[in-house]
Amino acid sequence: MEVEAASGSASESRWSKLGTSLPVTNVQALVASAGELTVDKIQRYIQPDIDAHAVLPELSDDVPVIDISKLLSPESAEAETAKLRFACAEWGFFQSRLGL
């Protein structure tokens, strides 16, 4: 859905102050134009390795932490599912941990 504003309106000036993002090419287009690939373009698609077990200690008291392995355990699935439900409903996100 496009939003059109009359020229010179307050709405237009508000939107014109927003920055633009870099154009993002999908991976298929990158492959099709492999000759034009640069290190700079490739770096946009590389994510640094993360420690899947790390929980940010400075946020762990505030942001809900869900232990994915507890969702699979018959002994703890009900309680962890309740925590997951709360995190999604109240926070909209959560940190995940995979305690094995």
- Dihedral angle sign, alpha carbons of residues 28, 29, 35, 39: negative
pTM (two decimals): 0.41
Q: Is residue 4 part of a domain?
A: no
Among the residue ranges 8-17, 29-38, 86-95, the one predicted with the least confidence is: 8-17
In a domain, 34, yes or no: yes
Q: Does some domain include residue 73?
A: yes
The answer to whether residue 80 is domain-embedded is yes
Query: Does residue 16 form part of some domain?
Result: no
Domain that holds residue 84: 22-50+60-97
Tally of domains in the chain: 1
Q: How many whole angstroms separate alpha carbon 82 and alpha carbon 18?
A: 39
Taking alpha carbons only, the member of 99, 92, 100, 34 closest to residue 63 is 92
Res 81 pLDDT > 70: yes
| 95, two tokens | 């940190």
Residue 9 lies in a domain: no
Task: List pLDDT tens digits, range 34-71.
Answer: 777 777 877 776 666 666 566 566 655 678 888 888 98
Q: What pLDDT does 5 receive?
A: 46
Q: Which residue has the higher pLDDT, 4 or 95?
A: 95
